[in-house]
Structure 1
Amino acid sequence: MKSRISPNGVHLFDRHSGLNILLDELCPEEAVWSMSPRQVSIALTNVCDLHCAYCYAPKHKASLHTDQVLGWLKELDAEGCLGIGFGGGEPTLHPDFVDICKRAAGETQLAVTFTTHGHRLTPRLVERLKGSIHFTRISVDGLGRTYEEQRGKQFASLLRGIESIATLSPFGINVVVNKRTVSELDAISELAQKVGASELLLLPQQATTTVASMDGVVGRALQDWVSSYRGKVRLAVSEVGASGLPTCDPLPDERGLQSYAHIDASGVLRESSFSPDGAKIGDVGVLWALKQLRNTV
């Protein structure tokens, strides 16, 4: 098991089973706290073959270099990071996606995850990824016609992607919650249970250049739905947009850049994918950029 030292104690994590153990009776001094965020998401590329209006990813072309990414991962791994999540854009469109996942799993102790729209999960790609992925997330923003109108892809193709992902690793379903999808949450949770998803991640819609944030009406509907939820699939929610929802935080003293950071496809370290400010990583390394960012937030 990998260990991480934080204000909450000593955190033990097994990336294969997903088991977490927190020794909170221990009180480590700040001088020995792990320097890395607990989790880091990395946008390998901005490229995507979908054009969802609510997507936060920048629309200029950018992709990270494989050796650069692996260097950052080794830094993060050595300083107590527990897991990394590859995204984009669509991460499977990065030309070295499989190699990056294999090397991340083989050369670090990090849990390797990625988020995908699911339409490129061919049997060959899934076979090449096996053994390198510890958890996967697939985006299901509505069902049937709602999905097709928001994502511009056939819902039947998504279902084939879910079938493929179920053979790769434990997986969860993501749903952007907006006025179109909030009324379909019951049906989406039923789908999640039917296909064997272990988690349903709620992502309250955030403002982009083309859409507004989830409004108060949708927010109240989401709160009501969560309060009455009796499904068997575990619920989770993004920290951005979680206000008003009954969340449980087992690591209450691990905040901000201690818990999470995002690296965009231009190599800029940010507090989150929605943060306007960040620190360019460059050749000096991700921990240097992390220190610079902590000095400005």
Structure 2
Amino acid sequence: MKRRVGPDGMHLFDRRTGLNVLFDEADVPEEQWARAPRQVSIALTNACDLACPFCYAPKTAAVLDAARLCAWIDELDAEGCLGVGFGGGEPTLYRRLPQVCRHVAERTDLAVTMTTHAHRFTPQLIEALAGTVNFVRVSVDGVGTTYEKLRNRSFAVLVQRLAQIGEAFRFGINCVVNDSTLADLDRVADLAASTGAAELLLLAERPGRGHPGSSRPHVTAALHQWIASYHGPVALTIGEGDTGSLLTAQPLPGEMELRAYAHIDAAGTLRRTSYHAAGEPVDDRGIIAALSRLQQKGVA
């Protein structure tokens, strides 16, 4: 198990099972606290072979150099990070994906997660990633014709991909919630349960590219009402900032903001989240130096 210490005590994490153990009675001096965020998401590339109308990801061409990426990953591991989450764009379009995932698995104690549309998860790619990826998050926005209209891909093929992914990895389903997908939440939850998903992550649509997002009161209210009445077997999670008055667990109250999470985009800029405009380039001084500069700017 990987050990991380911070303001909440000593945190042990097993990347194979996802088990977390917190010894909150441990009083650790601040100079010994982990300097890296608990989790860092990394956009490997801006390339994507879909054109979802609500996508907020940058459309400028950018891709991370694999050698630099592995050096950053080594630094994060040494500074107490627990896991990296690969995304994009579409991470399966990153040519060095299997090699980078193997580096993480063999050279570090970090967990590897990945967010993908799953349509490129062929048996060959699954074999290449087996044993190196700890959790796969599949984007499923609605079911049937709703999904096909938004993603312009076959829903039947997606279901086949979920079955294949479930044989090799622990996985969850992510669902962007907006006017188009709200009515499908029951069926998305049923899909998650029937395919063996470990988690259903609900993400209120963010404004972007002329779309208002789901900040409109009726969408947010309906989402919260649905969550309050949910009794399914799959664990629910919700995006940061989308909780409103919902009661949610916060097991590490001392590790908030940049202690908890940061994002590196495909151009190599460190940000608070992928939605934040402000950021710091990760240069030869490394990630922790960029993180320090970001904190000094007062970016929450």
Would you say same fold, with TM above 0.5? Answer: yes
Distance across 1 between alignment mates of 2:209 and 2:6 = 37
SS in 1 for 2:35: coil
CA shift, 1:213, in A, is: 2.2
Residues 158-197 of structure 1 mapped to structure 2, 5 A cutoff: 158-197=158-197
SS in 1 for 2:167: coil
Residue deviations 1:234-279 (CA, integer Å, cap 9, x gap): 0001113222322111111111100000000000000000000000
Residues 34-183 of structure 1 mapped to structure 2, 5 A cutoff: 34-183=34-183
Letter in 2 for 1:242: T
Contact 1:138 1:174 in 2 (8 A): yes
Residue deviations 1:100-137 (CA, integer Å, cap 9, x gap): 11111111100011011010010011011101011110
Contact 1:113 1:134 in 2 (8 A): yes
Distance across 1 between alignment mates of 2:110 and 2:101 = 11
CA shift, 1:158, in A, is: 1.0
SS in 1 for 2:221: helix
SS in 2 for 1:166: helix
Distance across 1 between alignment mates of 2:33 and 2:18 = 22
State the match for 1:291 in structure 2: 292
Structure 2: state its 5+ residue gaps: none
Distance across 2 between alignment mates of 1:77 and 1:18 = 17
Contact 1:129 1:168 in 2 (8 A): no
Letter in 2 for 1:284: R
CA shift, 1:14, in A, is: 0.5
Distance across 2 between alignment mates of 1:28 and 1:239 = 27
State the match for 1:253 in structure 2: 254
Residue deviations 1:25-71 (CA, integer Å, cap 9, x gap): 11212211100000000000000000012112100010001011100
Distance across 1 between alignment mates of 2:264 and 2:207 = 20
State the match for 1:201 in structure 2: 201
Distance across 1 between alignment mates of 2:245 and 2:52 = 26
State the match for 1:8 in structure 2: 8
Distance across 2 between alignment mates of 1:161 and 1:18 = 23
Please state if 1:280 is matched with 2:250. no
Distance across 2 between alignment mates of 1:242 and 1:265 = 28
Letter in 2 for 1:19: L
Residue deviations 1:218-242 (CA, integer Å, cap 9, x gap): 1000111011110000000111322
CA shift, 1:163, in A, is: 1.4
Distance across 2 between alignment mates of 1:83 and 1:171 = 15
Letter in 2 for 1:161: R
Letter in 1 for 2:143: L
SS in 1 for 2:168: coil
Letter in 2 for 1:172: G
SS in 1 for 2:150: helix
Please state if 1:264 is matched with 2:270. no
Letter in 2 for 1:123: P
Deviates most, 153-162 or 59-68: 153-162
SS in 2 for 1:47: coil
Structure 1: state its 5+ residue gaps: none
How many residue pairs match? The answer is 297
C-alpha RMSD of matched pairs (Å): 0.8
Residue deviations 1:117-162 (CA, integer Å, cap 9, x gap): 0100100110111010111100100001100111111111211221
Distance across 2 between alignment mates of 1:19 and 1:177 = 29
Distance across 1 between alignment mates of 2:158 and 2:22 = 37
Please state if 1:224 is matched with 2:225. yes
State the match for 2:236 in structure 1: 235
Letter in 1 for 2:277: P
